[in-house]
Copies of this chain bind each other. A is one copy, B any other.
Amino acid sequence: MIVWALLTSVGINLGLCLLFVTLYSVLRKQPSNLEVYAPRLVAAKEGSGQKNGFNFERLLPTAGWVKRAWQPSEDELLSVTSLDAVVFIRIFIFSLRVFGFAGIIGVLILLPINYLGSQLDVDFDFSDLPNKSLDSFSISNVNDGSKWLWVHFCAVYIFSGVVCYLLHYEYGYISSKRYTHYYSSKPQPHQFAILVRGIPVSSGSSCSETVERFFTEYYPSTYLSHVVVRRTNKLQRLTSDAEKLYRRLVHLKSETKPQQRSRCDGFCGLFGRKVDVLDQYGKKLENLEDNVRMEKLSVAGKEVPAAFVSFKSRLGAAIALHIQQGTNPTEWVTERAPEPQDVHWPFFSSSFMKRWISKLVVVVACAALTILFLIPVVIVQGLTHLEQLEMWFPFLKSILKLTVVSEVITGYLPSLILQLFLSFVPPIMIMLSSMEGCISFSQIEKSACTKMLWFTIWNIFLANTLSGSVLYRFNIFLEPKKIPGILADAVPAQASFFIAYVVTSGWTSLLSSELFRLHPLISSIIKRPFSGEDDDEFEVPSIPYHSDIPKVLFFGLLGITYFFLAPLILPFLLVYCCLGYIIYRNQLLNVYAPKYETGGRFWPTVHNSTIFSLVLMHVIAIGIFGLKKLSLASSLTVPLPILTLLFNEYCRQRFLPIFKDYPVECLIKKDREDQNDPTIAVFYDKLSTAYKDPALMPIRHPRSTDDHNLPLLQAGV
């Protein structure tokens, strides 16, 4: 890629950005789009009817929203959203600091040194700048054995030190936030409860009796109550079907005219007779309700040997959580209880062995998907060659002969196919994680986040860096000694590709997907005619951490890895980070609402992946200095990854436990506060039913009074 091409690309992208932002500024003000662009506000003000009439100002683009997104302080953001959201924003602040520092060193010091080298380019012809290759700005242009490489060497050391300092600072900062948040929190069910699995039910007594006996005996002073988990998959499905049908029935009754209630039956109405749709629906509902009644009766016997156990104090729950309960470690296995709304009910697979095997299968499936993903993609991409298309669709021949069309097709079709395949991955990862036996959505999301991160690194970074077959790429890891050399040889060659990637895929995809929320918009457009349902199931989305965090961290990896190889990437990453910072602050404020709160448990993933990026950079540096015939610098870089890993180990001991559990000091302080709280008795009442399976709860839509022949849904359990 030459400088001119990059400048063109940057120009186009800046233009697109401006266009997107302008469009957004206008579109977000249209009341009909409110549910897409500000569902949080809609949810908050539901029923207050803010739909004003037409206003000329609605058509003018304004930048007020940027100011409003920028203004709220972190504490205000925390009060409006959740700690998780604040931690997510901290990723951008951290990245801005890292890229800012790297940018100063990289652009002011390393870039001129690279450009003044003559390994690739002998003449310093500044007038010819636009036609220069971007490689002239990368380390490839520095002469072999040049003394200037020592500047790069120093930069690597200083940069690693600064990143480690920033990591340490952020870890400490978020730790303290976590404690502050905990101290200020009201009593919540998950703080007082645990999940017990592998309950050894003896014949002749029920699971519930066994749990009651065990905890009354060993926790007489703190045990409060328990809820045994039941297998309700079938009931859940039936209930939700019944609910949907009921809502449709109500909708039909209230809004449609009598002639609309009948529809064509039989073969396109030729031999059909008009049937009252209402009657038909009513019968269906009756059947469903019979099934629900039957299922509810049978569910009582479908006990899973697992139970949510609540305690009177946080310390009581912590003791039961941390100390092995029974003599057999695979029985009475205790786990932290998720928040009640965070429980993932369908996957309470019963036995220890079954859960263990399913975890294993998921790991294998995920590894296979990650490693082999590109094979079908490449095959499908291979089918889209011009000749192939011409053979399949002869009538396109004349159009395909146009240069513009053929360029677009050969240039964009393969990447479009890749993007299409890629868009299937996050849901697959979520599905795999939920099959792993995770009991909460937050656990599923965290696990899927890690999976996506590895998937992205393998399939985007390594696939683009290491040419050759999948097997070849895999083989590299079987010969650890050669890794630095191979990476050093391959990585800088891809610098210009990744610079272009950050500019195009980074900026525009961030803006299009996050600012315009294209995905939800498209999916709602697709969904509406198919489901034939009304929009009364309006839901505020929660931020998809499992796909957003890996995306952001991947750009962090690029920034850290390419910092000394091709510093030109840094200004573009800075722009990306700034955009991300504003846009995500704006969504968090308007769009996303937290569905659960992990208390910033995502941060260790961010920390670990930054350490990974640093060590990757060090390995490449060792290889580069070797290739550039400066073996002393290469050897002197070896201690750096070791020191970084030691720093990581230190952080793991100093901070990681804070993200796992709260200490006795906190627990007892909060417990003592509760003792003086007059509302605690009310809370205990709430606590004992908090972990009831929603499928066993009374249905949410009470029937209207004229439906006296269908009393079941109203009666509930």
Those of A649-669 within 8 Å (CB) of chain B: 650, 653-658, 661-668
Select the residue from A324, A352, A662 with max chain B CB neighbours within 10 A. A324
* Among candidates B332, B356, B653, residue contacting A329 with C-beta atoms closer than 8 Å: B653
A318 within 8 A of B: yes
> Is B663's CB under 8 angstroms from A323's CB?
yes
- Enumerate chain B residues within 8 angstroms of A326, measured Cβ to Cβ: 663, 665
> Is A664's CB under 8 angstroms from B324's CB?
yes
* Among candidates B330, B352, B663, residue contacting A324 with C-beta atoms closer than 8 Å: B663
CB distance from A653 to the nearest CB of B (A): 7
- Enumerate chain B residues within 8 angstroms of A330, measured Cβ to Cβ: 653-654
Given A650-B356, A655-B329, A218-B324 contact (CB < 8 Å): no
A179 within 8 A of B: yes
A662 and B328 CA atoms in complex are apart in Å by 10
- Enumerate chain B residues within 8 angstroms of A329, measured Cβ to Cβ: 653-658, 663
Q: Would you list 23 pairs from A and B whose C-beta atoms are within 8 A, ordered by A residue?
A: A218-B665, A322-B322, A322-B323, A323-B661, A323-B663, A323-B667, A324-B661, A324-B662, A324-B663, A325-B664, A327-B663, A327-B665, A329-B653, A329-B654, A329-B657, A329-B663, A330-B653, A352-B653, A360-B646, A475-B481, A478-B479, A478-B480, A478-B481
- Enumerate chain B residues within 8 angstroms of A360, measured Cβ to Cβ: 646
A319 within 8 A of B: yes
- How many A residues, CB 8 Å from partner? 40
Those of A112-162 within 8 Å (CB) of chain B: none
- Enumerate chain B residues within 8 angstroms of A217, measured Cβ to Cβ: 668
> Is B356's CB under 8 angstroms from A325's CB?
no
- Enumerate chain B residues within 8 angstroms of A322, measured Cβ to Cβ: 322-323
CB distance from A607 to the nearest CB of B (A): 15
CB distance from A176 to the nearest CB of B (A): 9
List of 6 A-B pairs having minimum Cβ-Cβ separation, nearest first: A329-B657, A324-B663, A322-B322, A478-B481, A323-B664, A325-B664
Apart from A218-B665, A330-B654, A478-B481: 9 A-B pairs, beta carbons within 8 A = A218-B664, A319-B664, A324-B662, A324-B664, A325-B664, A327-B658, A329-B653, A330-B653, A360-B646
- Enumerate chain B residues within 8 angstroms of A352, measured Cβ to Cβ: 653
CB distance from A256 to the nearest CB of B (A): 59
- Enumerate chain B residues within 8 angstroms of A328, measured Cβ to Cβ: 654
* Among candidates B653, B655, B668, residue contacting A218 with C-beta atoms closer than 8 Å: B668
Within the oligomer, what is the number of copies of this chain? Answer: 2
Per-position 1/0 for A20-39, Cβ under 8 A of B: 00000000000000000000
> Is A325's CB under 8 angstroms from B478's CB?
no
A319 and B658 CA atoms in complex are apart in Å by 17
Residue of B nearest to A481 (CB): B478
Given A646-B360, A650-B356, A663-B478 contact (CB < 8 Å): no
CB distance from A483 to the nearest CB of B (A): 10
Residue of B nearest to A329 (CB): B657
A668 and B323 CA atoms in complex are apart in Å by 12
- Enumerate chain B residues within 8 angstroms of A658, measured Cβ to Cβ: 327, 329
> Is B668's CB under 8 angstroms from A327's CB?
no
- Enumerate chain B residues within 8 angstroms of A320, measured Cβ to Cβ: 664
> Is B663's CB under 8 angstroms from A325's CB?
yes
A658 and B474 CA atoms in complex are apart in Å by 39
A661 and B329 CA atoms in complex are apart in Å by 10
Those of A600-639 within 8 Å (CB) of chain B: none
Those of A315-363 within 8 Å (CB) of chain B: 318-320, 322-330, 332, 352, 356, 360
A322 and B323 CA atoms in complex are apart in Å by 7
Residue of B nearest to A352 (CB): B653
Residue of B nearest to A480 (CB): B478
Residue of B nearest to A668 (CB): B218
Residue of B nearest to A661 (CB): B324
A650 and B653 CA atoms in complex are apart in Å by 27
Per-position 1/0 for A564-583, Cβ under 8 A of B: 00000000000000000000
Given A360-B646, A650-B356, A325-B665 contact (CB < 8 Å): yes
Residue of B nearest to A646 (CB): B360
Per-position 1/0 for A449-488, Cβ under 8 A of B: 0000000000000000000000000010011110000000
Residue of B nearest to A479 (CB): B479
Select the residue from A328, A656, A661, A668 with max chain B CB neighbours within 10 A. A328
Those of A423-459 within 8 Å (CB) of chain B: none
A540 and B329 CA atoms in complex are apart in Å by 38
> Is A327's CB under 8 angstroms from B654's CB?
no
CB distance from A169 to the nearest CB of B (A): 16
